[in-house]
Structure 1
Amino acid sequence: MAGPALDTDNGTLAGLSARAASFASRWPGLSAALLGLVAACGFPPLHAWWIALPALTLFAAHVHAAPTWKGAAWRGWMFGWAHLTLANNWIATAFTYQAKMPEVLGWAAVPLLCVYLAVYPALAALAAHLAAKRSGPLAFGAVFAAGWIVTEWLRSWVFTGYPWPPLGLMLLGNWDAQGVARLLPWLGTYALSGLAILVAAIFLWLATRPMPSKWHRAIALVGFSIAVIVGPMIVPHRTMDNSDIAYTLVQPLIPQDEINDGTKFEEQFQRTADLTRPGNDTSRLVLWPESAIPDYLEEGYPDRYYRATTYAANPTLARERIGRVLGDDTTLLTGVVNLDIGMRPDGVLGAITARNSVVALNGEGDITHHYAKAHLVPYGEYLPLENWLGAIGLARLTAGTVPYQPGPGPGTLDLGEHGLAGVQICYEIVFSGQVVDRENRPDYLFNPSNDGWFGSWGPPQHLAQARMRAIEEGLPVLRATTTGISAVIDANGIVRQSIPTGVAGKVEGFVPAAKPPTLFARFGNALALTWAALIAILGLGLPRLLALRSERS
């Protein structure tokens, strides 16, 4: 069926069939939601960017077609709600690994969370409508892209922030290719998301502008796709050189349904130790994941807390046992839980807060450094909107009732011959611009995680976002997880070595070298916001420039 004639005033549904245009006009919210679902397929594990980008183009056209500001905001909200609900389905899987709530609540928790998260795409759509409704698709798309940058940045920190996943994640290449994400050092993650919107607007513009024939249009669209998207997405990138820091990265395979089972603790430790011991006569950095050690290793806790394993009744003996596994010249970085002890409201001396932490131990079993997680996981380590969600029976997913306390933020641990280590525990790695101490830049980032409760969508998305941090900061990232995917990522975002999900194993080698500080490493998200301002100025000024050009001709 022939498409409708181009309406040069709004120029938004050109290229769609009349039937599709009629459906979109009659059911704007449903259409936006369907496009949101398709666009979410651009994220790992599907990574179907070849259908996600066309869906994004149709979404831009759909928002442009909105007759009112309410209609634009509604379309943006419905797109965001469906898009983010599918992308975050791994949160629902996490509900299967706890006993406090019915598992089915997980499938309510995700869309409920996305009711809030979808506000940000709605705001971007609203801003584009108010500022550039009467502009052509290219100018409109530029303003939409600028709004998306700002709102995605807001989503990363408002109410403690939840940026998972950024739209630009679909532009990351496969493990051996950077994709369009090679621009991250000059853009930052949120500006890359804006670029995805801008690319969609360019596709829309090419599909609607007058051309001599349909073949010219096809050549323009295919040529732009190959040059800007397809080529970068599939071309492998060279790997980086290595530093002289040797490492052993261990994935012990601790299934989530066994992680709090006291009868399995000794078996888990022995499996971790057996993977670690070979090579303990050399100088090296050993990396264990989050949740690798059930014991409390700190001194000074009431006796009832030292009960995880036989050795945990004496934290000194527990640390010394770990030291014997490591060897004399080794530094271990491992995830632990630390407690803050004080007088509780019931008058009993005990834990008043807990901290999800990483400690460094030497070969003698001495704790030399600490880092405490700053960004806690919603639903996992704290309950968002606790007064409301708690009233309907929701609770956090982690075991215990002691509240988690966030740490101060990025820090660098000086490990001597084993380098300057930046630490980002699990979910922290997804926060663009918030992973590095810029006053004391590390040589590498260590990202321990427990991905065992993340389902099939969570681990590949988590790994992909760690790759984006590597590219934009110019730093290698070493990911050790309990069950997979563990990986060594160089400063170009290329996965050097990996251990898949559901496998016990280790990888060894030398830590990839860091790059000099990138532009993003120097300016952080101020760089992305600068791009937002420039793109907005371009979008708002473009119609006037075209009008002046028309008058002169």
Structure 2
Amino acid sequence: MTQRYPRLLALVAGGLSATGFAPWGLWPVTLACLALLIHLIASAPSRRAAFGRTWMFALGHFTIGLNWIAIAFTYQDTMPHWLGWVAVVGLSCYLALFPALAALGTKTLRAAPDGQADAGFVLAFAGLWLVTEWMRAWVFTGFAWNPLGVVALEAGWAARIVGTYGLGALVMLASGALLLLVRRDWKPALALLAGTVLASGAGWAVQRTPAPSTDLPITVVQPNNDQSDKYDPQEAARNFARLERESLDRQAQVPRVVFWPEAATEDFVEDGYPRRYYYPETPAGVRARLTRPLNDGDILVTGGVKLDFDRNGQAVAAANSVFAFSSDGEILGSYDKSHLVPGGEYLPYEEILGQIGLSRLVPGTIGFTPGPGPQTLDLGAFGRMGLQICYEIVFSGEVVDAAHRPGFLFNPSNDAWFGPWGPPQHLAQARLRALEEGMPVIRSTPTGISAVIDADGRLLQSLAHHTAGHIDSVMPGAHAATPFALWGNLLPLALAGLLILLAVALRALRR
């Protein structure tokens, strides 16, 4: 079948490879499928055939892994719901170009005249896969969801050094080793495996001891407010009542930080807007209501919305924001989301796509504008907080203001419209950010999965999907900055360069 129907086989294998991600976690299947992909590329009769086979593999891989995007369309009544699957396949067609470019480059660098991949071929493909995954995260604003390294999360210590993209290259090396083992090419297979084990061991050795603990109390709230009710004015009071109920703790002995989800409030909390934007409450009244569940000395951190106005008092832009409030309703600081969701908070090429009936998934006529990037808010006795709203947390190496390193990251999110696959995938990527940066991550979402993640990426506590509740805990401690936190994606790119140089060197020696 590999000779008669290679593209069909690649498509099926690509779809199966996506089961290595959450919620299935079938990483051995992913390794086997990637081993088959390497064989299909090596045995391809030309660079064009290698490109086509890999594009088909990646089309299946992304279409299955991103199926949750189609479910998001079911919450938008201005477009037919079937367009969700058109969006999934269309996006996957584009994303599949990146792995296909890696295959094209590999076939150029390490053509396999006998149709068999050797160690050099695997090294080249792993290095170029890393480079193209990194490119996928920023070309045309980037879409970094589900990088390959996520399948190795539970043993992903190497991410402390080479980050998520480097971890993906190690997964590819392990897959190549599997292919060589099947062919009984023992020595190069064991050499590749030894390299992955050595890198993993180095990542483990960077931080062998647990992070120091803190005694700072926190409450993470998950109200289980359904996405279908979010923009219904009739449900606003009921939605807030759930937030308030899960936040109340009049028996607390010491002040705490209370975390609410992304866009937990639709009310405008800043002073200075035209009066019509506050009706029927004043901004001071809104802040007093939001902080009503707090005890003296508590801090509330919640998602909200900011507006920008023209000189005529008309709102012309919005920001997806997070606000920190003291218990007396004072705004202690705020943060504006930088990485907006394409198709969600803005529509790329709106002047063209709007003509064929497409619109963004977030309702409203005012466009969202991006914020300046990672920032740190000082919460006084509660330490320094970094913020990444929802989708932003998936961008490896872009989540922390390194000049003002925080003690933890807060990732308020709204995964309520992402079906059963999106939320666990999102959680897994947040855990990798904790591991890379050496700091805890706190997640609060309307319907789950809310969680407390320690500085080693371990899930300490969580609330199940579609469950109302709250987590009372203490803030996990942070490690000193990891090598990846200090150098960012320079380290995985250096790894890519090393792998490609080794591939070229092996080719020269073979000649």
Per the normalisation by structure 1, the TM-score is 0.86
| Deviation sequence 1:197-233 (CA, Å, 0-9, x none) | 111111122222457xxxx99x989x98x989999xx
Separation in 2 of the partners of 1:105 and 1:168?
30
Partner residue, 1:265: 236
| Deviation sequence 1:2-36 (CA, Å, 0-9, x none) | xxxxxxxxxxxxxxxxxxxxx22222221211111
Q: Which amino acid aligns with 1:167?
A: L
The question of whether the paired residues in 2 share the 8 Å contact of 1:410 and 1:424 is answered with yes
Partner residue, 2:135: 154
Q: Which amino acid aligns with 2:394?
A: V
State yes or no: 1:322 paired with 2:304: no
Q: Which amino acid aligns with 1:145?
A: A
Separation in 1 of the partners of 2:121 and 2:433?
30
Separation in 1 of the partners of 2:346 and 2:91?
13
Separation in 1 of the partners of 2:253 and 2:75?
39
User: Is the alpha carbon distance of 1:142 and 1:210 closer, same or farther for their aligned partners in structure 2, counting shifts above 3 Å?
Assistant: closer
The question of whether the paired residues in 2 share the 8 Å contact of 1:95 and 1:103 is answered with yes
- SS of residue matched to 1:41: helix
The residue correspondences of 1:265-344 to structure 2 (distance < 5 A) are 265-279=236-250, 282-307=254-279, 313-343=281-311
State yes or no: 1:522 paired with 2:509: no
Separation in 2 of the partners of 1:227 and 1:516?
24
Deviation at 1:281, TM superposition (A): 5.8
Partner residue, 2:88: 110
Separation in 1 of the partners of 2:408 and 2:485?
13
The question of whether the paired residues in 1 share the 8 Å contact of 2:157 and 2:200 is answered with no
User: Is the alpha carbon distance of 1:453 and 1:463 closer, same or farther for their aligned partners in structure 2, counting shifts above 3 Å?
Assistant: same
Separation in 2 of the partners of 1:506 and 1:404?
30
Runs (5+) with no aligned partner, structure 2: 202-207
Separation in 2 of the partners of 1:495 and 1:39?
24
The question of whether the paired residues in 2 share the 8 Å contact of 1:247 and 1:286 is answered with yes
Partner residue, 2:151: 170
Separation in 2 of the partners of 1:242 and 1:56?
40
Partner residue, 2:441: 477
Deviation at 1:483, TM superposition (A): 0.5
| Deviation sequence 1:321-360 (CA, Å, 0-9, x none) | 22332122011111001111115xxxx6321000000011
- SS of residue matched to 2:317: strand
State yes or no: 1:411 paired with 2:389: no
State yes or no: 1:92 paired with 2:70: yes
The question of whether the paired residues in 1 share the 8 Å contact of 2:378 and 2:384 is answered with yes
User: Is the alpha carbon distance of 1:118 and 1:314 closer, same or farther for their aligned partners in structure 2, counting shifts above 3 Å?
Assistant: same
User: Is the alpha carbon distance of 1:538 and 1:228 closer, same or farther for their aligned partners in structure 2, counting shifts above 3 Å?
Assistant: closer
Separation in 1 of the partners of 2:68 and 2:492?
28
The question of whether the paired residues in 2 share the 8 Å contact of 1:476 and 1:493 is answered with yes
Separation in 1 of the partners of 2:379 and 2:351?
42
- SS of residue matched to 2:403: coil
Deviation at 1:545, TM superposition (A): 3.5
* Aligned match for 2:320, one of 347, 356, 359: 356
- SS of residue matched to 1:529: helix
- SS of residue matched to 1:290: coil
Runs (5+) with no aligned partner, structure 1: 1-22, 174-178, 232-236, 548-553
Separation in 1 of the partners of 2:321 and 2:294?
20
Q: Which amino acid aligns with 2:256?
A: R
Partner residue, 2:364: 400
Separation in 2 of the partners of 1:392 and 1:162?
23
Which of 1 and 2 has greater Rg? 1
Separation in 1 of the partners of 2:243 and 2:96?
41
Across the aligned residues of Structure 1 and Structure 2, the Cα RMSD in angstroms comes to 2.4
Partner residue, 2:182: 207
Separation in 2 of the partners of 1:300 and 1:241?
43
Per the normalisation by structure 2, the TM-score is 0.93
- SS of residue matched to 2:475: strand
- SS of residue matched to 1:103: coil
Partner residue, 1:176: none
Partner residue, 1:36: 14
The question of whether the paired residues in 2 share the 8 Å contact of 1:239 and 1:494 is answered with no
Partner residue, 2:204: none
Deviation at 1:385, TM superposition (A): 3.4
The question of whether the paired residues in 2 share the 8 Å contact of 1:484 and 1:499 is answered with yes
Deviation at 1:374, TM superposition (A): 0.2
> Percent of counterpart pairs with the same letter?
45
Q: Which amino acid aligns with 1:66?
A: A
Deviation at 1:241, TM superposition (A): 4.0
The question of whether the paired residues in 1 share the 8 Å contact of 2:212 and 2:479 is answered with no
Q: Which amino acid aligns with 1:327?
A: N
Partner residue, 1:533: 497
The question of whether the paired residues in 2 share the 8 Å contact of 1:60 and 1:197 is answered with no
